[in-house]
Structure 1
Amino acid sequence: MLSIENERAKKMDIQNIVDEFVELKARCKFQIEVFHDPVHGQIALHPLLVKIIDTPEFQRLRSIKQLGGVSYVYPGGSHSRFEHSIGVAHLAGELAYNLQSRQKKLNITDEDILCVQIAGLCHDLGHGPFSHLYDTMFMQKVKRQNNKWTHEKASVWLFDHLVNHHGLKVEMEKYGLKEEEEEEEWPFEGRGEEKSFLYEIVANKLNGIDVDKFDYLDRDCHHLGLNNTFDYQRYFLLARVCKVNGRNHICLREKEAGNLYDMFYSRYSLHRRVYQHKVTKNVELMITEAFLKADLFLNLSEATKKENIEDYINLTDEVFEKILYSSDEENMIEAREILQRIHKRSLYKFVGEEKDTLSNEEKKKLKADLERGLLPPGSLEVHE
């Protein structure tokens, strides 16, 4: 009896996959490519999205960990920005399609949906090695005055380079995408103020409820072996565009507040248990120190300049191995020793902390006192 039930369940799963594929194909006027995603299942992507994926600018995301140094605490957390970006593109299309099918008066076109999917696909193009470690820890320490580099800005540079270098403008025009005239009092490009809600799908600056978050919560929990109680499918079914203070926004009924509370609690829980884990931050601090010591010889920070974009395309997590296995005894020895300590699990020990109210002279004296009383000379690192 049990084997019959198992066979029946398998047939139902296969039938569900077939039905989903037929529905996706019916919605697309072009030859679609199907990706199997461990989180979202079968993902059908527009041929233009596939052309973007098949470029060096996008493929580099395979070599950039989504969670930085988390894999040294949670071994499963070694997934990359590559699959996350594809997942965001998929969810962006699903939400836009749901709004299109339920609210015809919004005049959401297939071109609008494709643009939103491209935004989701390319929103993380500019991330550096180990994702947020690079821009929030490493670059914060090497930034020179008036250097306003961010990974968001790098994403725009890389997208422009991707489009121009691989002749994708012609492909975009082929599928009906063209530059639209800008409105004087509207800060965003591409669509007018009447479609302001489209800018809330991938990165919602108004309330933080967006498909980027939906994907990384689900994906991170899946790979880390943790539970995620938030149901984004319910959000997709019930989301509606309403006019609030004269502008169209994506809204949800008040009774759905509990589901959104689950989303924010899941995010809080991941920060507490994973992203801000003390060992994770320790490892990331050590990687940052190694990068800083290697920067003069590998030009890790110089690659962020717009004129060095080709160098940035080649800058991925592989720089870790480049330092670790470097044969340059003279210049790379300090950086290499730090990374070797990570592999040997000889991590930094926490001694104490002091609020940043001391002068430089007081800091030097404090360091000298600590070394004299607790540790051998030269073994104490002060991190600001």
Structure 2
Amino acid sequence: MDVKPQRVRDPLHDLIEFSTSPFEQGLWHAINAAEFQRLRRVKQLGFSELVYPGATHTRLAHSLGVFHTARHLANHVRRLLGQSAFDEDRCEIALAAALVHDLGHGPFSHAFEVAMEKIATARGAKFEKRHEIWTADIILGNTDIGARLERGIGKENREAVAILLLQETPTDLYSGIVSSQFDADRLDYLRRDRLMTGVSHGSFDYSWLLANLEVDSVAFATDGENYATVDSLILGNKAFQAAEAYVLGLFHMYFAVYYHKATRSAEKILSAILVRIGQLVLNGKSSATGLEKSHPLVRFLSDASLGNYLALDDTVIWGSLPMMMQADDNHIKELSSRLLRRDLYKAFDVAEHFKSRGGAASVAKFRAALAEANKSGAFEEFEIFEDSPARDPYKRRGYDSPDALSKVLIRGSAGGPYQDLSELSEVVSALQKRTAYRVYASNADAMTKLTEIAKGVG
């Protein structure tokens, strides 16, 4: 039978093609596995569509885009190194990892993980099942996609893909394509999320960055003495402004889109619903949740097996809300109704309120005053949620560990030595970690109490 190239039409990349090579045909076969197709039912931006109606793209679309972008980067590296120096095996491991890197995301990823952590903590257990670990379990487990990957890339490479995705920092040039401060994941989601939300934030010149991409040996040193060198991606000097725009764009997208107050309010509501359902299920009172014992969410909370986890996705949650609205538990009934109707808690932006009124010191006083008010029962009738999303715009790393491969390295001048972008750019070096602090109130009376506490602080 003739093998044909397979193509996917993508709103960001236009055509994403899987060639007739055995490797890419193997990846195409893996895409059709049940675990990968599940990503069609997990949205990339969770609740962001409540703010940006166009943001309905899925983690499946993003995963295909990350593979496509990683292949762009890898092909560029191949040209720079030459075929004889290029490691095809490690490249294939990186490309496969790029494709399957999001397999382990649960429904409404962030909100779900927060809820599971709270449930585990309440039981005195340590929360260990981050989505990266679920991803590795899916790849290595007795799964459809695990079997397909093994047939396509071999058993050893299947295991190597899981290991790569569990790494917190890159260890070589090829793993840096998948996970670093300048990786295929960020290069896809920053452009894709900007396109689908319709915002103007986050713009940068991807083509120019790629055109100025180089490979150089990064030296690691301790006490001034080099002990190892590793090849890494470097940007040429002409990409200086584009590199600045990339770092700034990523930073701006977090607070304009990912940490939007309405999105975070919806996440807080869902987390509260899941925590309450978890409490009832674990106490043998699942009937009060409005869900049947056979419901995927109840099954997972009763038995957190891989199979039960894979039965969960965004559509399961959305489809369950009408049932939860019939729950005997008033908390679940109220919150599920609000989420379905988009009747979100309103945000009191504490950090913004005190920006010109004492800054961090006043925020700390507000936190203390709010804690006292909670102790005294001031908010017993009115539920509130606290939220402190934070973003470090650029993690500055030393050269005494492989963490240095996570840097954005750039030439100081044409043909000159590379440096960390933060050492060359006054803009990047001036960026500071930003932490928002908001309190979400369930009604006007609760908001009035929060305003009174703020007035008391000054």
Both structures adopt the same fold (TM-score exceeding 0.5): yes
Matched, 1:264 2:247: yes
Question: How do 1:88-167 residues align onto structure 2 when only pairs under 5 Å count?
Answer: 88-104=66-82, 107-135=85-113, 137-144=114-121, 145-161=125-141, 162=143, 166-167=147-148
Matched, 1:347 2:320: no
Give distance in 2, aligned partners of 1:382 and 1:91.
38
Matched, 1:236 2:210: yes
Task: Tell me, yes or no, if the aligned pair for 1:294 and 1:323 is still in contact at 8 Å.
Answer: no
Q: Kindly tell me: are residues 152 and 180 of structure 1, through their superposed partners in 2, closer, same or farther at Cα, counting changes over 3 Å?
A: closer
Q: Kindly tell me: are residues 102 and 146 of structure 1, through their superposed partners in 2, closer, same or farther at Cα, counting changes over 3 Å?
A: same
1:200 offset after TM fit, Å?
A: 0.5
Q: Deviations over 1:94-115 (max 9, x none)?
A: 1101111222177224443332
Q: CA RMSD in A?
A: 3.4
Give distance in 2, aligned partners of 1:323 and 1:224.
26
Matched, 1:286 2:272: no
Q: Kindly tell me: are residues 160 and 226 of structure 1, through their superposed partners in 2, closer, same or farther at Cα, counting changes over 3 Å?
A: same
Matched, 1:201 2:184: no
Q: Which amino acid aligns with 1:166?
A: A
Q: Which amino acid aligns with 2:216?
A: C
| 1:218 aligned partner | 191
Helix, strand or coil for the counterpart of 2:8? strand
Query: Which residue, 30, 36, 57 being the options, matches 1:52?
Result: 30
Count of aligned residue pairs for this structure pair: 334
Q: Deviations over 1:173-209 (max 9, x none)?
A: 4xxx745999xxxx9699xxxx8100100111xxx11
1:230 offset after TM fit, Å?
A: 1.3
Q: Which amino acid aligns with 2:35?
A: E
More strand by share: 2
Give distance in 1, aligned partners of 2:265 and 2:30.
36
Long gaps (5+) in structure 2: 19-23, 220-228, 287-294, 351-364, 388-458
Q: Deviations over 1:99-149 (max 9, x none)?
A: 1122217722444333222111111111111122222x3233223332322
Give runs of ≥4 in structure 1 deviating > 4 Å: 177-182, 187-190, 298-302, 304-307, 330-333, 350-360
Q: Deviations over 1:348-375 (max 9, x none)?
A: 2346877665898x46433x2356xxxx
| 1:62 aligned partner | 40
1:379 offset after TM fit, Å?
A: 3.3
Give distance in 1, aligned partners of 2:159 and 2:349.
57
Task: Tell me, yes or no, if the aligned pair for 2:322 and 2:337 is still in contact at 8 Å.
Answer: no
Q: Kindly tell me: are residues 301 and 110 of structure 1, through their superposed partners in 2, closer, same or farther at Cα, counting changes over 3 Å?
A: farther
Task: Tell me, yes or no, if the aligned pair for 1:149 and 1:304 is still in contact at 8 Å.
Answer: no
Task: Tell me, yes or no, if the aligned pair for 1:126 and 1:151 is still in contact at 8 Å.
Answer: yes
Task: Tell me, yes or no, if the aligned pair for 2:48 and 2:258 is still in contact at 8 Å.
Answer: yes
Q: Kindly tell me: are residues 293 and 188 of structure 1, through their superposed partners in 2, closer, same or farther at Cα, counting changes over 3 Å?
A: closer
Helix, strand or coil for the counterpart of 1:34? strand
Task: Tell me, yes or no, if the aligned pair for 1:142 and 1:301 is still in contact at 8 Å.
Answer: no
1:216 offset after TM fit, Å?
A: 0.4
Helix, strand or coil for the counterpart of 2:44? coil
Q: Which amino acid aligns with 1:78?
A: T
Give distance in 1, aligned partners of 2:92 and 2:153.
10
1:68 offset after TM fit, Å?
A: 1.6
Q: Kindly tell me: are residues 181 and 41 of structure 1, through their superposed partners in 2, closer, same or farther at Cα, counting changes over 3 Å?
A: closer
Q: Kindly tell me: are residues 359 and 302 of structure 1, through their superposed partners in 2, closer, same or farther at Cα, counting changes over 3 Å?
A: farther
| Percentage of identical aligned residues | 26
Q: Kindly tell me: are residues 272 and 179 of structure 1, through their superposed partners in 2, closer, same or farther at Cα, counting changes over 3 Å?
A: closer
Give distance in 2, aligned partners of 1:260 and 1:30.
40
Give distance in 2, aligned partners of 1:304 and 1:249.
43
Q: Which amino acid aligns with 1:37?
A: D
Q: Which amino acid aligns with 2:107?
A: P
Long gaps (5+) in structure 1: 1-28, 372-377
Q: Kindly tell me: are residues 107 and 341 of structure 1, through their superposed partners in 2, closer, same or farther at Cα, counting changes over 3 Å?
A: same
Q: Kindly tell me: are residues 49 and 165 of structure 1, through their superposed partners in 2, closer, same or farther at Cα, counting changes over 3 Å?
A: closer
Give distance in 2, aligned partners of 1:319 and 1:181.
30
